[in-house]
């Protein structure tokens, strides 16, 4: 029996690709003071506060999703309830600020039992940590691959705050500001250490999939 389990595990490891291999890995640092350390050149222009547009982010036009995986397969999920804003500077988009607050109990996945497990203390612990939050500290032009920008900010997840940096593709039109990004984070860096079953281990890296649209009118 032990040999059969070992053989099954080897087959699973060989046969299932890791979705995180196909996206950039976010740079994660333990630096809650990053907000104060953001480059002054990217601060909103104090001399023209009236130029800043406050744009809303909502589930009506924005999606926040993820892909988690184990050795035998992967699962898609996301969040249905969140709210945020972009403090958009049309004269210098890199000076803009993004903030989003997610209601973690709105988590969903492609499997009902998995959804319940993800809400438990093994993962998101939604009763103890009812919200997750992201606040940008820096947006700079240029990014990995085909990305137009690189975004840095503080992500508070599972009660832990880390500074993350990831590439994004940003587009500005007269009607909206849009941004898309796919990158991976390591769940254990946010205190989610549940390993899974011995014959079906859960991978540490989770793919984050963002598609943001903030109307300008």
SS3 185: strand
The whole-angstrom separation of Cα 44 and Cα 95 is 5
Q: Please write the tens of the pLDDT for every residue from 102-143.
A: 999 999 999 999 999 999 999 999 999 999 999 999 999 999
Mean pLDDT rounded to a whole number for the chain: 86
CB 128 within 8 A of CB 140: no
The whole-angstrom separation of Cα 87 and Cα 144 is 24
Q: Please write the tens of the pLDDT for every residue from 136-195.
A: 999 999 998 889 999 999 999 999 999 999 999 999 999 999 999 999 999 999 999 998
Domains with residue ranges and CATH for the chain:
2-215 (2.40.128.110)
- Buried/exposed 154-185: b ≥16 CB within 10 Å, e otherwise: bbbbbeeebbbbbbbebebeeeebbbbbbbbb
CB 51 within 8 A of CB 89: yes
The DSSP symbol for 40 reads G
For residue 105, the Cα-to-chain-centroid distance in whole angstroms is: 16
For residue 194, the Cα-to-chain-centroid distance in whole angstroms is: 19
Q: Of 208, 215, 216, 214, whose CA–CA distance to 167 is shortest? A: 208
The whole-angstrom separation of Cα 18 and Cα 70 is 8
């Amino acid at each position: 029996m032990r040999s059969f389990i070992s053989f099954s595990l080897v087959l699973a490891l060989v046969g299932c690709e890791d979705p995180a291999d196909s996206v950039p890995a976010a740079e994660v640092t333990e630096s809650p003071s990053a907000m104060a350390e953001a480059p002054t050149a990217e601060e909103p222009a104090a001399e023209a506060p009236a130029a800043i547009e406050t744009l809303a982010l909502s589930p009506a036009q924005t999606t926040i999703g993820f892909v988690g995986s184990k050795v035998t397969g992967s699962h898609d999920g996301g969040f249905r309830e969140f709210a945020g804003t972009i403090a958009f500077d049309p004269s210098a988009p890199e000076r803009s600020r993004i903030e989003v607050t997610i209601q973690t109990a709105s988590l969903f996945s492609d499997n009902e039992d998995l959804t319940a497990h993800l809400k438990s203390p093994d993962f998101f612990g939604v009763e103890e940590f009812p919200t997750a939050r992201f606040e940008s500290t820096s947006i700079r032009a240029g990014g990995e691959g085909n990305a137009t920008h690189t975004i840095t900010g503080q992500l508070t997840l599972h009660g832990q705050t880390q500074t993350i940096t990831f590439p994004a593709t940003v587009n500005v039109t007269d009607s909206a500001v849009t941004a898309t990004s796919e990158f991976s984070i390591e769940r254990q860096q946010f205190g989610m250490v549940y390993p899974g079953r011995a014959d079906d281990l859960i991978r540490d890296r989770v793919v984050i999939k963002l598609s943001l649209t903030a109307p300008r009118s």
